Structure 1
Amino acid sequence: MNNYLLHIQYDGTNYAGWQIQSNAMTVQQKIIDAIEILLKEKVNLIGSGRTDTGVHAFGQTANFRTEKNFDLYKFQHSLNGILPSDISIKKIEKVHETFHARFDAKSRCYIYLFTHIKSPFLERYSYLYPPIMKLDIDNLNNLSKVFLGEHDFTSFSKVNSEVKNKICFVNEIRWRRSKEFTLFYISANRFLYGMVRALVGTLLYAVEKKYDENFLLDIMEKKNRSFAKESVPAKGLFLYKVRY
C-alpha cells in the first residue's frame, strides 16, 4: 500500500474549517473530492488536526493511502488544477506505509497576525487592532510564559469540545511587534478546539487591564471556559507548521 503526504495551504475564509461536516463546505472535503476524481476510488484523507471556521493554513499536512503508484509532480499539478484557487497543494511526498499525519506529529505551530493600519490587502488575513491601543509587547511576552510547559487548558477550549483530555504541552510562545504588524507565535504538542484564539484574547485583556500572571493562573485553575475572555477573530489565525 502506498502512503502519500500532502503539504497544504488554504485561505479558510469560505470554509467551515478543515474537518468534514455533513451540512457545510470544508477544506478536507474539497481535497478528498479532487483526489477521488483523479484516482477514481474512495480515499481516507487524514489531517494533522482540524482548524476552525475561517482559520487559514500555511502548513497543513494530510496523508492518504492507495494501491496506485503515480508521478508525484504530475499528480500535484492535476490536483491543483481541480482544486479551487483558495486551496493549494504545495508538495506531495511518499512516506512510510504506517505514517499517520495526526498521530506522528511532534508539534503544531500557529501564528496570529494583527495589523495596526487599515489595508484592503490584509482584511481577510489579519485582525485590525487600533493603533491607539498600544500593545505592550514586553508585558505580553512575560505574561505568556505562564502557558509554557504542561497545563490543563480546559478554560481555553470550546465548551462542547468532544476531547476529554485537555492537557497540552506548550514549548514556545512569543510576541513580536513592527511598525504596522504584531505577530503572535505558539507551538505545542497539540491544541484544543478554539484554544489559540481564546489564549490570545485573554492575554490582550490581561494587558489592557494591567493584570499580572495570577489572573491567568486563576483562569487555568478554574477549568471553565466562561472565565477566559473573548476569542480574537478567526481570520488572523494561521496553522503555520506541523513538525514530525
Structure 2
Amino acid sequence: MRHIKLVIGYDGTDFHGFQRQKGLRTVQEELERTLTSLLGHPVSVKAAGRTDAGVHAEGQVVSFWTSCPIPVERLPIALNGLLPPDIVAKEAKEVSPDFHPRFDATSRVYRYLIDNRPVPAALLRRYAWHIPEPLDVEAMRSASQYLIGVHDFASFHASGSDLGSTVREMKRIVISKRNGIISITLEANSFLYHMARIIVGTLVEIGLGKRHPDEMREILMVRDRSAAGKTAPPHGLCLMQVKYGRRRSYEHGEIQNESE
C-alpha cells in the first residue's frame, strides 16, 4: 500500500463544504467517489482542513492509501479526466505512513477578496464580497497588527465547534488594494471555526469607520464573540496554501521540505 499526498483546488460555490454529509454534495464525497472509481478500491481521504459551504481552495491537502500501481505523477492527470469541473487535482506525492495533512501542518494561508467598487464585477460575484462604500485600507492594516502573534482568539470563534483551546498564533496579515479589489491574506498555525471570516468582518467595520482601529486590541482581550464584527460571507474566502515543516516524508527515506 502506498500513502499519497494530493493537493487540490475547488470552486466551493456549489458544494456544502468539504466534509462528507449524507444527501448533500461535498468536496470529500466527489473526491472519494472519483478516487474509488479510478483506483479500483474504496478510498477514504483525510484533509488539512474542512472548508465551509461556499469557501474555495487553491491549496487544500488530502491524503489517502492505495494499492493501485498507477505512477504517482500520473494521478493528477488521470483524476482530472474524471473529476467534476469544479475540483482540480494539482499535485500528488508519495509520503511516509505517518504523514497527516492536518496534524503535520505548520500553518494555513487564507485569502479573502473584497470588491470595493461602486459597481461590482460580474465575474467576481462568486469569489469576492462586494462592498460599494469606500474602505479605509490603512485603518484596516493598523487594526490587523493587534492580531499578530500568539493570542486567545475566543472573540473570533463562532459557536458550533468542539475545539478546546482558542489560543492560536497569527503569523501574518497582509492587506493590499489594487484596482478596487482588496485582498486580505491571513496566515496562522491553525484557524478556529469561522475565525478568518469574523476577523475580515471586523476589519470591514473598521474600514467603514464604524470602529476605531485600536478597538481591535480590546476585542481580542475581552474574549467574547459578541464584541467582534459580523461574519463575512463565505464566497470571498479561499484556502490558498497549507505549509509543512521539514520532515521525513517519503517511504524510501528522502528528507525534503513539504511546504507547498
Query: How would you bin the TM-score normalised by the shorter chain?
Result: over 0.9
The alpha-carbon distance between structure 1 residues 212 and 126, as it changes in their structure 2 partners (threshold 3 A), is closer
- Aligned runs of 1:119-158 on 2, under 5 Å? 119-130=121-132, 133-158=133-158
- Supply the distance in 2 between the matched residues of 1:161 and 1:229 (Cα, whole angstroms): 19
Answering whether residue 90 of structure 2 is matched by residue 90 of structure 1, we say yes
- Supply the distance in 1 between the matched residues of 2:67 and 2:78 (Cα, whole angstroms): 19
Aligned to 1:11: 11
Residue 190 of structure 2 aligns with an amino acid whose one-letter code is R
Residue 228 of structure 1 aligns with an amino acid whose one-letter code is A
Answering whether residue 232 of structure 2 is matched by residue 232 of structure 1, we say yes
Aligned to 2:205: 205
Deviates more, 1:182-191 or 1:62-71: 62-71
- Aligned runs of 1:68-79 on 2, under 5 Å? 68-79=68-79
Residue 168 of structure 2 aligns with an amino acid whose one-letter code is C
Q: CA RMSD in A?
A: 1.5
Aligned to 1:160: 160
SS in 2 for 1:3: strand
Deviates more, 1:220-229 or 1:111-120: 220-229
SS in 2 for 1:168: strand
**What are structure 2's unaligned runs of at least 5 residues?**
245-260
- Supply the distance in 1 between the matched residues of 2:222 and 2:103 (Cα, whole angstroms): 29
Residue 136 of structure 1 aligns with an amino acid whose one-letter code is D
Aligned to 1:189: 189
Kept in 1: contact 2:139–2:213 (CA 8 A) = no
**What are structure 1's unaligned runs of at least 5 residues?**
none
Displacement of 1:239 in angstroms is: 0.4
Task: List structure 1 runs of 4+ shifted beyond 6 angstroms.
Answer: none
SS in 1 for 2:138: helix
SS in 1 for 2:30: helix
- Supply the distance in 2 between the matched residues of 1:11 and 1:177 (Cα, whole angstroms): 23
The alpha-carbon distance between structure 1 residues 187 and 205, as it changes in their structure 2 partners (threshold 3 A), is same
Residue 139 of structure 2 aligns with an amino acid whose one-letter code is N
